[in-house]
Amino acid sequence: MNGTEPPRKRPTQADVARLAKVSPAVVSAVVNGRSGGGVRVGDRTAARVEQAIRQLGYVPNVAARNLAGGRSDIIGVFTYEALFPMDAMSFYHPFLMGVEEAVEELDCHLLLFTGSHVDGRRRAIYKNGINTLQHADGAVIVGQAENREELTALLREGFPAVFIGRRELPGAEASYAAADYSGATRGLVERISGLGHRRIARLHGGSAHESIVDRDAGFAAAREQLAGRLDAADVFVTPHSGAVTELVPRLVEQGYTCLIADDCDRADDACAAAEQLGLSVPGDLSVAALSEFSLAPTARDVTTVVTPGREMGAAAVRLLADILKNPSDRSPRRTVLDCGLHDGGTLAAPRA
Amino acid sequence: MNGTEPPRKRPTQADVARLAKVSPAVVSAVVNGRSGGGVRVGDRTAARVEQAIRQLGYVPNVAARNLAGGRSDIIGVFTYEALFPMDAMSFYHPFLMGVEEAVEELDCHLLLFTGSHVDGRRRAIYKNGINTLQHADGAVIVGQAENREELTALLREGFPAVFIGRRELPGAEASYAAADYSGATRGLVERISGLGHRRIARLHGGSAHESIVDRDAGFAAAREQLAGRLDAADVFVTPHSGAVTELVPRLVEQGYTCLIADDCDRADDACAAAEQLGLSVPGDLSVAALSEFSLAPTARDVTTVVTPGREMGAAAVRLLADILKNPSDRSPRRTVLDCGLHDGGTLAAPRA
DNA sequence: CTCAACTGATAATGCGCGTAATCAGATTGG
DNA sequence: CCAATCTGATTACGCGCATTATCAGTTGAG
């Protein structure tokens, strides 16, 4: 209770051993359920040791344990951006939910790599040469912005890592828990076609991220498959909100009756542009989105593909667990999950 | 690239030393900026070592480092409940934002103790005798539900911990970053009195948590201070939503013109009850809350005291950093932050 | 020419723990 | 009565690194 005691060193196994008049090995055995190693302990001595442990307030040192044993029971989550700011949160939250859930089931702790920036605000996995992810037994990696070289290096190093979302890295096979964006896109187009639309336009954000490439593939597949029942299924690149606003009138003029946007922000923009023209959504023009994400809360309840974020997070952790349990199998682990569809009010049959 | 190589052991300092034809100590020095310890390294050898490091892909082992050095640059966050589920999130999010922010500034990582449940779902700090928080250099503790005995034990052990929110633990002086609920409550009552209200009722949730006790104190202080300008300032215990609904008509009948609830949920209930009676809020009855938290999204925009969550989180981490930097000073660190006030639409002057 | 001071490196040790190898004594069976 | 077995415990060692003490060689001052 004195304000300035010497920073009291924590008691060690040896201290306990001394007090209990046994060897350190016995203490170790008692602490670890005295059954595993080659050391056996009688009930009487075990009791004495436990007494000593209580008396000294002994608590094993985790670092030492890791060093000797091998694993830390910590699973990491790495992101290149901060996790909790409001805008990022809406994106990361579903994943985190799943991750926490699965990590908890594994009885592991969850480490967020917030201390990994090199210069300025940019986060990095390798910090002056050392792999900071190592604090954990393995890591789940989420996010859009990335340093692909670093990620490749990480995989080559053999560090147990699983991505949330598909990743293709040169010269390394990544493990991941992904969403079937391709299938979802195809499904959405089929549904739109089924409603009677014959001229569909896709408003493409211009990204070449795997998640977008998958959607591209799904769109292309649908177009091919529905060739006879579609008059047009075209892709227009709209890098920013303004481009959408400009493009919509032209598309309407050209007879497109349904617009598919990459995300809800863009879809919202499209709706706004349509209403600007005096058109009603979905009466005169249908709009749908391929992803529910949006930075700003969108004004409309857009019909959109929904990413199974929670499931992806949980799946990623489970894949990681498998890697950790079976490290000799170096093959990539992959899970692909179905997307959902949120029925908003922006998609309907075209006007007769 | 073969699918089943032997789980390739990671190269160690010794491996590097061998390859570079130097002693392990030199490698250590090079890795750690070769300036600190008593070991000096020439430029030529340093280059050779770095070359070897690259060639082997050497990466220092964190556990060993911790063991030898002392700290892990990990700061923990402990909560008794899961962090990311939707309902919990609205409560924890502001704190986490602040924590992440401050931890990032310290260049530390953030560990969430998800693997700390003993039996069933309940989380615990001590897991069969061992303090799981140890993985971190210190920990920030947040949340309502708690095991006070455990927390006391933690402090007695001398583990560096800082609470978010005031805590009084028997036989131990806790460090914390708290909000000035007392002052905020007094301020709110003053304001209400200033608007002309003379009969004020407080709907008390019945909790004896420090955060509530503080509000009690503030309320009592205001009552005393405003004795001459108040006809009544009474406290009514309403443990659940139903109790509020039942109580409100009686209070109205007794001439209370302003109700202060512990949180927004209860405030919302009170508004509903008033409207049920045909009264308008705030026309006929004013309502205010002492905390912005609510489990369900509340229907009304309630005037409420706002907890400085982000600031509390950041402050807690900074206090922890101070403890870690200055471990010989065992005195508790405390910060108390001012609350804000959200001007909703439920508070106005009483009818003339 | 000698002793001090400095540079660049090595050897040795300890951090706290897990565990394999080992050992002393008690029991048992033949 | 002795070898075989089992129980309960000890010793010794290694995990990978940081650090302290130490040492050989070089330089410089007096």
Question: Average of pLDDT values for B33-62?
Answer: 84
Q: Is B57:B94 a contact under the CB 8 Å cutoff?
A: no
Q: Do residues A128 and A63 lie in contact, with contact meaning Cβ atoms separated by under 8 Å? A: no
Q: What is the pLDDT of residue A120?
A: 64
- Under DSSP, the state recorded for A120 is T
Tell me the C-alpha to C-alpha distance, in Å, between residue A92 and each of A87, A146, B44, B91: 9, 15, 47, 17
Interchain contact B120–A (C-beta under 8 A): no
CB-CB contact of B195 with B350 (8 Å): yes
Which of B336, B330, B335, B313 lies closest to B173, judged by CA? Answer: B330
- List residue ranges whose Cβ is under 7 angstroms from nucleic strand D: A 21-26, 38-46, 64, 67-68; B 9-10, 12-14, 24-25, 28-29, 31-32, 36-39, 58-61, 64-65, 67-69
Helices within B107-180 (DSSP H only): 148-156
- Are B108 and B75 contacting, i.e. CB atoms less than 8 angstroms apart? yes
| pLDDT value at residue B327 | 79
Asked if B63 lies within 8 A of A60 by C-beta distance, the reply is no
Quickly list DSSP for B70-81: S---EEEEEESS
Q: Does B35 touch chain A (CB under 8 A)?
A: no
Nucleotides of C under 7 A from a protein CB: 7-12, 14-22
Buried (b) or exposed (e) across B257-296, using 16+ Cβ within 10 A? bbbbbbbbbbbbbbbbbbeeeebebbebbbbbbbbbbbee
DSSP single-letter state for residue B247? H
Residue among A67, A109, A327 minimizing CB distance to B114 = A109
Give CA–CA dist A160/A328, Å, rounded.
Answer: 11
For residues A213 and A207, give the distance between their C-alpha atoms in angstroms, rounded to a whole number.
8
Specify the pLDDT at position A1.
40
Give dist(CA A257, CA A160) in Å, integer. 47
Show residues of chain A in contact with B114, CB under 8 Å: 100, 103-104, 108-110
A55-76 b/e (C-beta count within 10 Å ≥ 16 → b) = ebebbbbbbebbbeeeebbbbb
Instruction: Calculate the angstrom distance between C1' of C23 and CA of B45.
Output: 48
Contact between residue A142 and residue A77 where contact means Cβ atoms under 8 Å apart:
yes
Residues A270-313 have pLDDT tens digits of 999 999 999 998 999 999 999 998 887 777 899 999 999 999 99
Q: Which residues of B touch A7 (CB under 8 A)?
A: 327-328
Peptide bond into A282 cis (omega under 30): yes
- Distance to chain A for B168, nearest Cα, Å: 15
Contact B205, B263 (CB under 8 A): yes
- On average, the pLDDT of chain B sits at 88
Lowest mean pLDDT among B35-39, B195-199, B302-306, B317-321: B35-39
More confident call, A267 vs A117? A267
The answer to whether residue A2 scores a pLDDT higher than 60 is: no
Q: Which residue(s) pair with B337 in the sheet? A: B179
> Span A35-46, mean pLDDT?
80
Tell me whether residues B157 and A57 touch, CB distance under 8 A: yes
Torsion angle of the four alpha carbons A186, A192, A195, A198, in this order, in degrees rounded to the nearest 10: -100
- Nearest nucleotide to the CA of A36, by C1', is C19
Interface membership of B107 toward A (CB under 8 Å)? yes
CA distance A211 to A120: 29
Other C-beta atoms lying within 10 Å of the C-beta of residue B297 = 8
Residues in A closer than 8 angstroms to B329, CB to CB, are: 3-4
How many other C-beta atoms can be found within 10 angstroms of the C-beta atom of residue A348?
A: 18
Q: Could you tell me the distance in Å between the CA of residue B155 and the C1' of nucleotide D10?
A: 36
User: In angstroms, how far is D17 C1' from A251 CA?
Assistant: 65
| Contact state of B107 with A96 under an 8 Å Cβ cutoff | no
Rounded Cα distance, A44 and A47, in Å: 5
Is the CB of residue A89 less than 8 Å away from at least one CB of chain B? yes
When CB atoms are compared, the residue of A7, A31, A158 closest to B327 is A7
Q: Which nucleotide is nearest to A39 (CA to C1')?
A: D9
Substitution target from A81, A101, A104 for chain B, most B beta carbons within 10 A: A104
Q: Tell me which residue has tokens 């060639």.
A: B55
Predicted local confidence at residue B6, as pLDDT: 47
Q: Where residue B38 falls among pLDDT bands split at 50, 70, 90?
A: confident
Among A92-96, A147-151, B324-328, B338-342, which is the least confidently predicted range?
Answer: B324-328
State which residue has its Cα closest to the C1' atom of C20: A38
How would you label A177-208 residue by residue, b for 16+ Cβ within 10 Å and e otherwise? Answer: bbbbbbbbbbbbbeebbeeebbbbbbbbbeee
pLDDT exceeds cutoff 60 at A5: no
Question: What is the spatial distance, in angstroms and rounded to an integer, between the CA atom of B38 and the C1' atom of D30?
Answer: 29
B116 touches chain A (CB under 8 A): yes
- What whole-number distance in Å separates Cα of residue B122 and Cα of residue B124? 7
Q: How many CB pairs under 8 A join A and B?
A: 150
Over pLDDT 70: what percentage of chain A? 94
Query: Would an 8 Å CB–CB cutoff place B225 in contact with chain A?
Result: no
Question: Residues with Cβ < 8 Å from A199, sequence gap 6 or more?
Answer: A230, A231, A232, A233, A254, A255, A256, A257, A258
- Quickly list DSSP for B59-100: ---HHHHHHHHS---EEEEEESS-SSSHHHHHHHHHHHHHHH
Query: Nearest residue to nucleotide C7 when comparing alpha carbons to its C1'?
Result: B40
Q: Is A68 helix (H, G, I), strand (E, B) or coil?
A: helix
Which residue has the closest alpha carbon to D13 C1'? A68
Q: Report the predicted TM-score, pTM, of the whole model to 2 decimal places.
A: 0.83
Beta-carbon separation of B135 and A72 below 8 A: yes
> Confidence band (pLDDT; 50, 70, 90) for A3?
very low
CB contact under 8 A, B112 and A117: no
**Percent of chain B whose pLDDT exceeds 70:** 94
Q: Would an 8 Å CB–CB cutoff place A103 in contact with chain B?
A: yes
The pLDDT score that the predictor gives to residue A128 is 64
Residues of A in contact with B89 (CB under 8 A): 93
Q: What is the pLDDT of residues A195-207, one digit of tens each?
A: 999 999 999 998 8
Contacts of B157 in chain A (CB under 8 A): 57, 59
Cβ contact B57–A157 (<8 Å): yes
C-beta atoms of B112 and A108 within 8 A: no
Residues 141-170 of B with CB under 8 A from A: 156-158
